[in-house]
């Protein structure tokens, strides 16, 4: 039974209904920024400021006797050998990158399938990053490996200093398990190498002045032959400075080897070109907004906007396929493999040797279907069946083990309170449970439920609630509300030992909101909160908060929020626009100064999401969701912790630094911690991750549990 109405509860707290955002006063665009000096990432003055704020935060947290225990518990979870090691099949071996207490930076290792089936597989070390870092005197962080088909004896390994997006690429011999002397080497920059053949690669990187886009990514791609300096690589394609990212790659599928150049103008705005044998380029003439895929003889398109072609109309969110060669010859005959409804969207498409697996979200719940091409009388149709053996509940994902050679797949199933399971099987045959993560926290008293809040414009906004089975609705339950709300990224239920140990096991309620800006209902859900409509994401989040309060789950003094990156921007706006709803907030690696975001690091690449602050008409709406410009001295904000990383070369640490400085100057209750390493993920190893997570959760527990 609900104990109190929202109006009564907020009236009793002296707050009034929160149906509208708080008023904001924004200075003109030309106003001086007194904290511009904090954008000097490694400047001594700025770092002295960082160290002093870090010291205050560490002292406060370490004074709590529970902090050290929480940090140790989280590190034990992150280092646990009982976690499921995810693997990738390369040739006859299955490869995994692993960090634990004995491999702080990590080890790249491999095993066989027979061994992997065992509870404790025997692993062969391929590359030990701890040993490499010590030998070379570098703080190496693993950034991935790209190995050449079909024999997989040579790889291009990317390594980052301290976890930054910028990395180096080095050629590695898998047979000798050592780097190749005088092999391919790309100096530190944002970009990469892609195999063409054993002696040739595509390279897109920083070639010197004028070779990068305004977002700091490669503008030029070249073809580079072994034994020649990179400076002599032959140009393949040059984009414009205002583009986002230029790259090229070869599709090594046997019988369908093709080369492509990709030109990304902005998020969800890209062009794909087929590179012919003579080096000329033929554009895949489809909408820039469509996600393009080429697999064997097929061209696939995931539409983000409605499209009319050859007399037919296709809905946004649809998946279309056609024969690639026919399309390039001018034919425009598509088969519709998926069309969305009011409640469904396409979450993923997986290709095996003989099948296409569709992962569909229906009101944010996964449903799997197998599509098989059947050719009769020269015409191909697609037979559709449910995926046999797929779990009925929870978040389900599928990956093809070797899509060129088999129909074998891995399937993972998870939810908030059920440890993740890994299954192995062949499409159309029963699955075998291969591994299951152990329970890292006691969830026997917990239950998961889905609810819908009503946003300001009447939109139904789903959210998941993880709470005790017999939850008292007295409004005093410490509750943590999380969301992301951007870039068409969906937030689905998953088993998080960290959330379980740090929050749920302590009696907290955990909520994940599927607000607009995400991808839970496909492109329309994302596009509903772009640019001038950004506030719809914040209104959705506020609606969920209000629904939790109205139902007696919690109340403002006990309701905390947390988000990172775009989610950090979300948190910044919630505390400045809806401060009366929350008792504490954590904003991690956030965007906060939306007047300068496009001038900092990769910020220019996000203007399709937020708008261009240099355009006066667009700044008019951008400034309404720029927390750095909307924070005021005469408003009481919830206690807030900002965290970031000096090595984050995606979202500039200046955002968090300047917001902290401004709120501190105005006398608000704020804390700050900046990790010197870690990149955009905030941590370069498990120990750092455990410390950062312990900071955030202990801060929330202190503020939300003690308040009355």
- Catalytic residue ranges: 565, 680
Q: Under a CB-based contact definition with an 8 Å cutoff, are residues 691 and 701 in contact?
A: no
Residue with tokens 């890292």: 440
CA distances from 579 to 15, 22, 474, 668 (A): 10, 8, 22, 12
Return the SS3 of 601: helix
Q: Under a CB-based contact definition with an 8 Å cutoff, are residues 195 and 251 in contact?
A: no
What is the 8-class DSSP label of residue 599? G
Residue with tokens 């994302």: 526
Q: Under a CB-based contact definition with an 8 Å cutoff, are residues 366 and 395 in contact?
A: yes
Task: Name the residue among 248, 295, 297, 259 with its Cα closest to residue 403.
Answer: 295
Task: Name the residue among 78, 139, 61 with its Cα closest to residue 690.
Answer: 78
Tokens (6 digits) for 193: 């190498």
CA distance 641 to 632: 17
> What strand order describes the sheet that includes 366-376?
344-351, 356-362, 366-376, 379-386
Tokens (6 digits) for 154: 């040579």
CA distance 94 to 13: 58
CA distances from 504 to 450, 489, 546 (A): 17, 24, 21
Q: Under a CB-based contact definition with an 8 Å cutoff, are residues 485 and 516 in contact?
A: yes
What is the 8-class DSSP label of residue 23? P
Q: Under a CB-based contact definition with an 8 Å cutoff, are residues 644 and 54 in contact?
A: no
Tokens (6 digits) for 514: 């599927």
Q: Under a CB-based contact definition with an 8 Å cutoff, are residues 320 and 327 in contact?
A: no
> What strand order describes the sheet that includes 640-645?
446-454, 460-468, 509-513, 479-482, 559-564, 584-588, 640-645, 670-675
CA distance 681 to 647: 10
């Amino acid at each position: 039974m609900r104990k109190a109405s929202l109006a009564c509860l907020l009236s009793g707290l002296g707050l009034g209904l929160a149906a509208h955002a708080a008023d904001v006063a924004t200075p003109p665009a030309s106003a001086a920024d007194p904290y511009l000096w904090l954008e000097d990432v490694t400047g001594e003055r700025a770092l002295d400021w960082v160290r002093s704020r870090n010291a205050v935060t560490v002292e406060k947290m370490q004074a709590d006797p529970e902090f050290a225990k929480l940090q140790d518990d989280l590190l034990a979870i992150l280092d646990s050998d009982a976690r499921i090691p995810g693997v990738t099949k390369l040739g006859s071996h299955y490869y995994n990158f692993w960090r634990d207490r004995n491999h702080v930076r990590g080890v790249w290792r491999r095993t066989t399938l027979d061994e992997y089936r065992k509870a404790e597989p025997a692993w062969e070390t391929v590359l030990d990053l701890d040993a490499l870092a010590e030998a070379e005197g570098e703080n190496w962080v693993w950034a991935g490996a790209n190995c050449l088909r079909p024999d997989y004896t040579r790889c291009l390994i990317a390594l980052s200093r301290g976890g930054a997006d910028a990395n180096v690429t080095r050629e590695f011999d898998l047979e000798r398990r050592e780097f190749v002397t005088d092999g391919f080497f790309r100096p530190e920059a944002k970009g990469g190498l892609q195999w063409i053949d054993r002696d040739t690669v595509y390279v897109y990187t920083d070639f010197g002045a004028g070779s990068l886009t305004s977002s700091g990514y490669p503008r030029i791609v070249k073809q580079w032959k072994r034994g020649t300096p990179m400076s002599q690589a032959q140009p393949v394609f040059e984009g414009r400075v205002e583009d986002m990212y230029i790259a090229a790659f070869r599709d090594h599928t046997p019988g369908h080897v093709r080369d492509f150049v990709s030109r990304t103008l902005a998020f969800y705005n890209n062009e794909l070109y087929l590179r012919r044998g003579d080096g000329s380029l033929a554009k895949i003439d489809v909408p820039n907004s469509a996600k393009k895929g080429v697999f064997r003889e097929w061209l696939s398109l995931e539409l983000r906007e409605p499209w009319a072609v050859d007399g037919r109309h296709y809905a946004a969110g649809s998946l279309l396929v056609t024969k690639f060669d026919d399309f390039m010859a001018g034919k425009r005959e598509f088969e519709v493999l998926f069309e969305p409804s009011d409640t469904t969207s396409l979450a993923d498409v997986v290709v095996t040797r003989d099948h296409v697996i569709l992962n569909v979200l229906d009101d944010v719940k996964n449903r799997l279907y197998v599509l098989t091409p059947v050719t009769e009388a020269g015409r191909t149709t697609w037979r559709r069946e449910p995926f046999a053996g797929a779990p009925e509940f929870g978040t389900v994902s599928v990956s093809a083990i070797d899509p060129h050679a088999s129909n074998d797949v891995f399937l993972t199933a998870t939810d908030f309170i059920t440890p993740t399971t890994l299954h192995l099987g062949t499409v159309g045959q029963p699955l075998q449970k291969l591994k299951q993560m152990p329970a890292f926290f006691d969830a026997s008293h917990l239950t998961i439920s889905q609810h819908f809040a009503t946003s300001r414009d009447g939109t139904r906004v789903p959210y998941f609630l993880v709470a005790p089975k017999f939850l008292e609705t007295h409004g005093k339950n410490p509750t943590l509300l999380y969301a992301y709300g951007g870039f068409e990224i969906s937030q689905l239920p998953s088993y998080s030992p960290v959330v379980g140990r740090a929050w749920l096991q302590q009696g907290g309620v955990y909520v994940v909101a599927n607000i607009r800006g995400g991808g839970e209902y496909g492109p329309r859900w994302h596009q509903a909160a772009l640019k001038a409509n950004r506030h719809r994401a914040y209104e959705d989040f506020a609606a969920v908060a209000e629904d939790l309060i109205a139902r007696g789950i919690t109340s403002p003094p006990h309701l905390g929020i947390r988000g990172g990156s775009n989610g950090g921007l979300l948190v910044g706006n919630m505390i400045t626009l809806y401060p009366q709803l929350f008792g504490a907030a954590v904003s991690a690696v956030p965007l906060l100064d939306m007047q300068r975001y496009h001038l900092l690091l990769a910020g220019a690449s996000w203007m399709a999401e937020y708008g261009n602050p240099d355009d006066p008409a667009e700044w008019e709406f951008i400034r309404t969701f720029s927390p750095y410009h909307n924070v005021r001295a005469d408003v009481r904000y919830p206690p807030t912790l900002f965290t970031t990383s000096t090595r984050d070369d995606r979202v500039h640490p200046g955002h968090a630094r300047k917001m902290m400085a401004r709120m501190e100057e105005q006398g608000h209750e704020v804390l700050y911690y900046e990790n010197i390493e870690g990149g955009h993920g905030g941590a370069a190893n498990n120990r750092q991750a455990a410390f950062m997570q312990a900071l955030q959760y202990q801060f929330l527990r202190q503020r939300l549990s003690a308040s009355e």
